[in-house]
Amino acid sequence: MKPVLDIRDLGISFGGLKAVDQVSFQAQRHRITTVIGPNGAGKSTLFNLISGALKPHRGQVLIDGVDMTGAAPERTKAAGLSRSFQITSLFPELTVAENLRLAAQVLEPTGRAFLPVGRSTQALARTGQMLERFQLAHKRDDLAGNLSHGDQRRLEIAVCLASEPKILLLDEPTQGMSHGDTAQTARLVRSLTDDVTILLIEHDIGLVMDLSDHVVVMHQGRKLAEGPPDLVRADPAVQAAYFGHA
Amino acid sequence: MTPVDYLQFVLAPQVVNGLALGVAVVLVALGLTIIFGMLDVINMSHGEFYAIGAYAALALGAAGIGFWFLLVLVPILMIPLGMAVERLLIRPVFDTRDRHVTTLLVTFGLGLIVEDVLKIVFGANTQRPPTPIPGATEILGIILPNYRIFLILVGAAIVLGVAFVVYKTRLGAMVRAAAFDRNMAASLGVPVSLVYAGTFAFGVSLAGLAGVLLAPIYSVFPTMGRDFILLAFTVVIVGGMGSIWGAVVAGLLLTQVQALASLVISPVWTDPIVFGTMVAFLVFRPQGLFGRLGHA
Amino acid sequence: MHDRLTQSMRASHLLALLFVLAALGLAAMGAATGDTFYLRLGTEALIFAGLALSVDLLLGYSGALSLGQALYFGIGAYVSALTLMKLPSFWLAMAAAFLATLIASIIGGLIANRVRGVYFALITFGLAQVMAKVVYNTRELGASDGMIGIPVIEIGFGPFSVSAGSPVGFFLIVLAVIMGLYALTAYLLDTPFGRVLTALKANEKRVPFLGYSVWRARMAAYVLAGVIAGLSGALYPMLRGFVSPELMFFATSGNAVISVVLGGVGTLIGAIYGSVLLVILKSIIGSWTEHHLIVIGLLFMLCVMFLPRGLVGVVRPAIETWLSRRRPAPVAAADPADLPAIIAETARTSR
């Protein structure tokens, strides 16, 4: 089966530092592929390269077989890739519903761009779905900036999903969450694979092993290993670099 | 006219006059760039502080205080004023989401008020204090007014002094630390809130000093700050917001462009050239010639 | 179904309606008493309200402070004046001003939108200053004196016609144009297109990751604002019979910013109320002292510091509440039975 996301030999350097170097892997449809690695391994930079926030110096990014290397974020988005941020990035002065509607309005035919938002039936329907699916319906008119941290993290995922992407890049969705919340969010993420392919950055190793179909290990900008969680965990090189002294 | 005559009677005086104006602009821009670099505040009322300095010199001078004493007295008098403005107007809005815009608007309002107050207190007429150092000196066959020579020398001394304090002293290090990371600096024992107020006051004080120095050359009138601030902003942008050396280089460069261009084209067109330079810089190199002071 | 932004806009519309009623009242009174002075003053306030409207579109919605919006106001005024002197047609003058400011704001937007934040403020300031200086020194445009002797025009609507010289008639026409611009802007801001502009102010960094080009949105806002300022400016020579470089000066741009801040940033109708308020303040204070800047500067500063949403920002929430009580927004009922048990659990435990 053709991979939804195909990363080939991707690389970028800042000054002399190779932040991401010769990284290749694929993300299979409706699977969760997780990128792990110690701090500074280049995981977030990798996300920035894939989503178009940074232009790679070498290599290719293929979304559904189409070369999107170095395309601006709005173009990778149009190609079906949606991403969240490690530090929550919402529209704090807009309501929960408007955050979602804004993301969902790409679903509308272009002709409706100049009709009142009340007539954006598809976007509004999608907003309603998201509100219910993420249990935010009772907060639809609250300002996103006033939500609790946990609610904001969930809204962040909902905003990414609202535009019906093919691929979802989630950058530490459980960041800053309590242990209980983390487990719930993990199950939520798992439930999303019916609709989308997920590329995840996660620090909680237990969670990674539990959740992932495929794990990519990064170390000092390079891919150290990849494979099913169990195999990766057993890999001596990974043990040395990552679980090292454990 | 021979090339030597041209050099001696046209070009050289123009360059020196441009240099005097350049030093003047640098003095005003210095405070502006320090306030921006350290506090992240665009002080739209900076030109009015410059005007206050000039009027203070005028009034105190008329009361019999000598020019040399004023050079010290006026900047000192400006410090409590600057501190009060920082406390009352900048501090309350310092932590709003859009600090740049909010502080810009507040200081813009302050500028309107100051301008009108100056008009009420001193009248709308243009006044001119006597030149403190009369006469002229001939250097290499070029006749130069003494006061302009003095201005250039004093200006250079002030710039070097400020750069020394900011870059070489413990005080300067504290200020730069506070600009770089407020919380980190606070945890290292830097009295951040005092440093901010002090920095603002210092910038204002420099504007006042510029007012004292420039009044004998450029006259004193209520809107004098408005005319000057435009050039100062240009200098700060071209030099790189927050950079002291940037302000110096850009200030001298732009005023030379202005001075020399006016030999070739009508002087009224030199302003568009100078602003055109600013626009070009913003478009092609928005960070300016040099980086930011606090973040260098 | 109305969301919160639509609801806010409806509250602004109610205030706009009140404004129009008050303006019509003034026009009726003016007509009855044969007044010229106040109607002319009101017309001028309305014209500058158009400029303030364009500043609020940028500052209050796309989040960009323009300190040189008078540039497009001035271009509109000059182009309108030049057109009227060749051919005294209202529609032609408006069309010419529209085209000229469209082109000018595309060029200006290409320059100004390379930078953001405070640099945007300073570059717009610089652009306006450069152009003002150029106009100030161009003899063909009347240089520092400006151009006088712009003919009083007849404004034709099919079989009817109104003279720009008629205080009441021209007041009504300007009222219609400015409120038309308000309505157009308000309409656009309530469409998906306009909501992307609003998103710029809320969190510009996130916008491209939702699939929208920040540059395009910023350009759209800038050009729209430029054209609004230009069309408002085009009315000025019809009222006063002259144009001068002062129309492009910082004082004009600054007054528009003051109007917006007094009236309420991001409320749209606030810009119009603010403009009228500014004119009233100036003439009231001006009647007993020439130093009105102190009072205006003070009010402005207090507004920025303590009333960041301006006058309309104070009254509008009450109107919104009143409107929503009249027409309650449908409560979206969440039926837990529809949801995967996991998510329901998530919500419970995340409390």
**What does C64-125 look like in DSSP terms, one character per residue?**
---S-THHHHHHHHHHHHHHHHHS--HHHHHHHHHHHHHHHHHHHHHHHTTS-HHHHHHHHH
Does the pLDDT at position A246 exceed 60? no
- Select the residue of C59, C114, C297 nearest B112 (Cβ to Cβ): C297
Are C343 and A134 in contact (CB < 8 Å)?
yes
Which distant-in-sequence residues (6+ apart) come within 8 Å of C345 by Cβ?
A184
Cβ of B266: how many Cβ atoms within 10 Å?
Answer: 9
- Select the residue of A74, A98, A180 nearest C5 (Cβ to Cβ): A98
Q: Which one-letter amino acid corresponds to residue B193?
A: S
How confident is the model over C315-335, as pLDDT tens digits? 888 888 888 777 654 444 333
- Select the residue of B115, B119, B278 nearest C126 (Cβ to Cβ): B278
User: What's CA C35's distance to the chain center, in Å?
Assistant: 27
Q: How many domains does chain A have?
A: 2
What pLDDT, on the 0 to 100 scale, is given for residue C36? 85
C-alpha span between B34 and B248 (Å, rounded): 12
Q: Are B117 and B49 in contact (CB under 8 A)?
A: no
Q: State the count of interchain CB pairs (< 8 A) between A and C.
A: 140
Two structure tokens written together for B156:
């250079």
- Return the SS3 of B230: helix
C-alpha span between C86 and B260 (Å, rounded): 40
Does the pLDDT at position C201 exceed 70? yes
A245 domain residue, yes or no: yes
Does the pLDDT at position A190 exceed 70? yes
- For helices B170-180 and B146-168, the axis angle rounded to 10 degrees is 70
C-alpha span between B103 and B38 (Å, rounded): 14
Q: Is C59 on the interface with B (CB under 8 A)?
A: yes
Rounded to the nearest angstrom, the minimum Cα separation between C340 and chain A is 8
CA angle A151–A153–A155, rounded 5-degree value: 65
A212 domain residue, yes or no: yes
- Select the residue of A92, A131, A135 nearest C344 (Cβ to Cβ): A135
Are C199 and A102 in contact (CB < 8 Å)?
yes
- Mutation target for C interface from A89, A94, A161: give the one with most C CBs within 10 A: A94
- Return the SS3 of B243: coil
- Return the SS3 of C166: coil
Rounded to the nearest angstrom, the minimum Cα separation between C305 and chain A is 19
Q: What's the DSSP call for residue B293?
A: S
- CB contacts, 8 Å: A150 with chain C: 350
- CA neighbor of B45 nearest in space, from C286, C300, C54: C300
A175 domain residue, yes or no: yes
Q: Is C224 on the interface with A (CB under 8 A)?
A: no
CA angle C156–C157–C159, rounded 5-degree value: 90
The DSSP element (H or E) to which C162 belongs, if any, is: strand C160-163
How confident is the model over B68-110, as pLDDT tens digits? 888 999 999 999 999 999 999 988 888 887 888 899 999 999 9
Q: Which range, A238-242, B81-85, B194-198, C88-92, has the best average confidence (pLDDT)?
A: B81-85
Two structure tokens written together for A65:
């077989």
Q: What is the mean pLDDT of residues C158-187?
A: 90
Are C111 and B275 in contact (CB < 8 Å)?
no
- Give the end of a domain, one of A113, A141, A163: A163
Q: Which range, A230-239, B222-231, C134-143, C258-267, has the best average confidence (pLDDT)?
A: C258-267
Q: Are A84 and A160 in contact (CB under 8 A)?
A: yes
Which distant-in-sequence residues (6+ apart) come within 8 Å of C205 by Cβ?
A89
Q: Are B217 and B24 in contact (CB under 8 A)?
A: yes
* One domain for residues A125 and A179: no
What HEC string does chain A produce? CCCCEEEEEEEEEECCEEEEEEEEEEECCCCEEEEECCCCCCHHHHHHHHHCCCCCCEEEEEECCEECCCCCHHHHHHCCEEECCCCCCCCCCCEHHHHHHHHHHHHCCHHHHHCCHHHCHHHHHHHHHHHHHCCCHHHCCCEHHHCCHHHHHHHHHHHHHHCCCCEEEEECCCCCCCHHHHHHHHHHHHHHCCCCEEEEECCCHHHHHHHCCEEEEEECCEEEEEECHHHHHHCHHHHHHHHCCC
- Mutation target for C interface from B42, B97, B113: give the one with most C CBs within 10 A: B113
Are B113 and C293 in contact (CB < 8 Å)?
yes
Q: Are C98 and C231 in contact (CB under 8 A)?
A: yes
- Select the residue of A52, A117, A133 nearest C191 (Cβ to Cβ): A117
CATH of the domain at A186: 3.40.50.300
Two structure tokens written together for C304:
């920025």
Q: Is B2 on the interface with C (CB under 8 A)?
A: no
What pLDDT, on the 0 to 100 scale, is given for residue C340? 42
Q: What CATH number does the domain located at B3-284 have?
A: 1.10.3470
What pLDDT, on the 0 to 100 scale, is given for residue C344? 40
**B272: nearest CA partner in chain C:** C130
Radius of gyration (C-alpha) of chain A in whole angstroms = 18
Q: How many domains does chain C have?
A: 1
Tell which phi-psi region holds residue B52, choosing left (phi > 0), alpha (psi between -120 and 50) or beta: alpha
- Strand pairing of A58-63 and A5-14? antiparallel
Does the pLDDT at position C337 exceed 50? no
Two structure tokens written together for B23:
């030093």
What pLDDT, on the 0 to 100 scale, is given for residue A243? 61
Confidence (pTM): 0.88
Q: Which residue has the tokens 């892997």?
A: A25
* One domain for residues A177 and A58: yes
A152 domain residue, yes or no: yes
Q: Which domain holds residue A122?
A: 94-163
Q: Which one-letter amino acid corresponds to residue A117?
A: V
In the β-sheet with A5-14, what is the strand arrangement from edge to edge?
Answer: A17-27, A5-14, A58-63, A66-67
Q: What is the mean pLDDT of residues C81-104?
A: 93
Domains of chain B by residue range: 3-284
Q: Is C215 on the interface with B (CB under 8 A)?
A: no
Q: Which residue has the tokens 């002030």?
A: B158
Q: Which residue has the tokens 């710029």?
A: C200
Q: Are C64 and C58 in contact (CB under 8 A)?
A: yes
Q: Which range, A99-113, B92-106, C258-272, has the best average confidence (pLDDT)?
A: C258-272
Are C137 and B266 in contact (CB < 8 Å)?
yes
Rounded to the nearest angstrom, the minimum Cα separation between C85 and chain A is 37
DSSP string, B120-162: HHH-SS-B-PPPSS--EEEETTEEEEHHHHHHHHHHHHHHHHH
DSSP string, B88-108: IIIGGGTTSTTHHHHHHHHHH
- Return the SS3 of C147: strand
How confident is the model over B186-245, as pLDDT tens digits? 888 788 888 889 999 999 999 999 999 988 888 888 888 877 787 888 888 888 877 888
CA angle C167–C258–C121, rounded 5-degree value: 120
Rounded to the nearest angstrom, the minimum Cα separation between A246 and chain C is 32
Query: Percent of chain A having pLDDT more than 70?
Result: 98
Least confident of A135-139, B129-133, C24-28, C73-77: B129-133
A88 domain residue, yes or no: no
- Return the SS3 of B119: helix
A74 domain residue, yes or no: yes
- For helices C310-326 and C4-33, the axis angle rounded to 10 degrees is 110
Q: What is the mean pLDDT of residues C220-242?
A: 95
How confident is the model over B265-276, as pLDDT tens digits? 777 777 778 777
Q: Are A174 and A207 in contact (CB under 8 A)?
A: yes
Q: Which domain holds residue C105?
A: 4-349
Are C208 and A52 in contact (CB < 8 Å)?
yes
Rounded to the nearest angstrom, the minimum Cα separation between C335 and chain A is 8
C-alpha span between C316 and C314 (Å, rounded): 6
* One domain for residues A183 and A244: yes
* One domain for residues A65 and A186: yes
Query: Percent of chain C having pLDDT more than 70?
Result: 92
- CB contacts, 8 Å: C196 with chain A: 102
**B267: nearest CA partner in chain C:** C137
Look at C318 and C66; give whichever has higher pLDDT.
C66
Q: Which one-letter amino acid corresponds to residue A147?
A: L
Which distant-in-sequence residues (6+ apart) come within 8 Å of C115 by Cβ?
B282, B283, B286, C123
Q: Is C127 on the interface with B (CB under 8 A)?
A: yes
> Could you tell me which residues are beta bridge partners of residue A216?
A35, A226
A86 domain residue, yes or no: no
